[in-house]
Amino acid sequence: MTFIKNYCDFLWQGTLITVILSVVAMILATIIASVIVAGKLSKNKLISGGTTVIIELIRGLPTLCILFLCFYGLPELVSGQFMGIDNGRLVSGLIGLTIAESVFVAEIIRAGIQSVDSGQMEGARSIGFSKLASYRYIVLPQAIRNILPTMGNEFANIIKSSSQVSVIGIADLMFTSQKIQGISYKPFQAVIAVSIIYLIFSVSITQIVALAERRGKTKRLVI
């Protein structure tokens, strides 16, 4: 604990960067994933086929490879710094992480939509709902309820995957551990300190998701 207290400021900044990066990446990945799902479920074979190719290409690449492609392939989109980090690196890391995670989030959303009985869509259409209205008022509310636990677990995965952005110089938790190693000459303690923080995030999110799932089941039983 003394070691963590001595480097609390470094760990706090690294934690903040990790959380910000993970939250923004999760939001952007969900938006992109929704578009991917729309393309995947499209009746137009060209659109659905093209979407499938994109999914397989992204899924076939390691997250680290995508990060390097973004870092070396993207131009300097913005200048300046954010919390002492070069914006070019931050944007590249964010885009890379978002792209890598979007296909997995898309699969979660697709599974959630398809878990809703198709008869409900047909029933909604038969009483005059448009296809868009049927999705909005009938299918999506149920799909969202079904996918929330999995999305929570995926957010925990994004936090862990975000550790890979350290290789392009973003001062997240993992990068912070390397900085602390250079100052303290105690690599094992530095990695242990960062591992504890990652573990706290992972366990906390898992427990929150499990609690929300239990409460959701209880409410449905009462109804």
* Rounded-to-5 percentages of helix, strand, coil across the chain: 85, 0, 15
Q: For residue 194, give the nearest of 1, 22, 13, 11 by alpha carbon.
A: 11
Least confident of 111-115, 200-204, 205-209: 111-115
d(CA 51, CA 56): 9
167: DSSP letter: G
Confidence of residue 223 (pLDDT cuts 50, 70, 90): very low
Confidence of residue 174 (pLDDT cuts 50, 70, 90): very high
Arithmetic mean of pLDDT, 2-21: 87
pTM for this model (two decimals): 0.84
Confidence of residue 204 (pLDDT cuts 50, 70, 90): very high
Q: Enumerate domains of the chain plus CATH numbers.
A: 2-222 (1.10.3720.10)
d(CA 105, CA 58): 12
